Amino acid sequence: MRPPGTRPGANIGAARVGDAPRPWTFDRDEPSALSDTFLRKGIVKTAVEDCAALDAIRETVARAFAGWLGVPLPADIATFLNLAHERIPIERLNDCRLHVIGAMNGEPWLRPAYAALARRTLETLAGNELAMQRQVNLSVQLPHDAGSLLPVHSDVWAGDSPYEVVLWVPYVGCARTKSMYFCDAARDAAVQSRLADLRAGTVEDLYALIEPHVEFLDVAYGEVLVFTQNILHGNRVNLEPETRWSSNCRFKSLLSPYADKKLGEFFEPISIRPATRLGLRYRLPELPRD
């Protein structure tokens, strides 16, 4: 059946049908500044999409920290977390962090709330069928603590899939060395291509190579980062007079390729469309044998 207004034998794949312009396109949305920025820089900063979820998660973190200290939860959570270094002995930092991580991941609502912090952004960048890391991580970086550094790296080197994105959420304002740094995406590929030249060197040698091209991102409470872990990133000694509290968690398109960290082991589906559910359930029947 021909579209209205076409003649027999008309080329209906042409730019116009009759006198009407063709409105059809595979692009469902207008060009997205979010997507463009992510493709160009490998990272986007955006306002949190569910402020109540962020406040609830931060309160859980602070309440667990207060419980570890054996003190009541103060009314001013921001100051309590920012000045945590005044209460945490450096030798007990990891004990404190593991206690808070356990409390966070013991709450069944916390992972859905964490995803809600940037759900639309994640769906725009990674897909509307998502798998999420099974545990939300926590970083606590005290001022001048050289023992809690994350040296420059790309997570893909350690068995992560290049199809993953990280949702990074600060529970306090993070700026300068209290935050994370990222290598300029325009130079990242060239730097990674030279890694073989540094095989006898150290991660500090690698950082020295990218240092002129890194940016420490200022991220306020109420803002989040979504970034590809393919680009070089890390942190340095926190030279600011406050403690950093932040979480990170990986997300990926459910049916995109996995690396060492598998679905069901490291990742868990959080959104599956009906056709995918049916496809996963389907079993090809045995065919008659000759």
Instruction: Give the dihedral sign, CA 13/19/24/30.
Output: positive
Q: How many residues does the chain have?
A: 290
Residue 64: closest CA among 48, 45, 51, 77: 77
pLDDT of residue 175: 96
pLDDT given for residue 4 in this prediction: 52
The pLDDT of residue 149 is 85
Which residues does 166 contact at the CB level (< 8 Å), separation at least 6?
155, 225, 226, 227, 228, 229, 248, 249, 250, 251
Q: Which two tokens stand for residue 15?
A: 């730019």
- Give me the pLDDT at residue 191, please: 86
Give me the residues of the chain with pLDDT under 70, please. 1-19, 27-31
Alpha-carbon distances of 26 from 15, 19, 30, 272, rounded to whole Å: 15, 22, 11, 22
Model pLDDT, residue 9: 47
Query: Each residue of 125-145: b (16+ CB within 10 Å) or e?
Result: bbbebbbbbeebbbbbbbbeb
Name the burial class of residue 158, with classes exposed (0-12), middle (13-18) and buried (19+) by CB atoms within 10 angstroms of its CB.
exposed
What do you get for the CA distance between the two ends of the chain, in Å? 42
The reported pLDDT for the residue numbered 12 is 42
Check residue 150 and give its pLDDT: 85
Distance (Å, whole) CA 238 – CA 142: 7
Domains of the chain (ranges; CATH) run 32-49+119-277 (2.60.120.620)
pLDDT, tens digit (0-9, with 9 covering 90-100), for 9-54 = 444 444 455 667 777 777 665 558 899 999 999 999 999 999 999 9
Reported as a single tens digit per residue, the pLDDT across 268-281 is 999 999 999 999 99
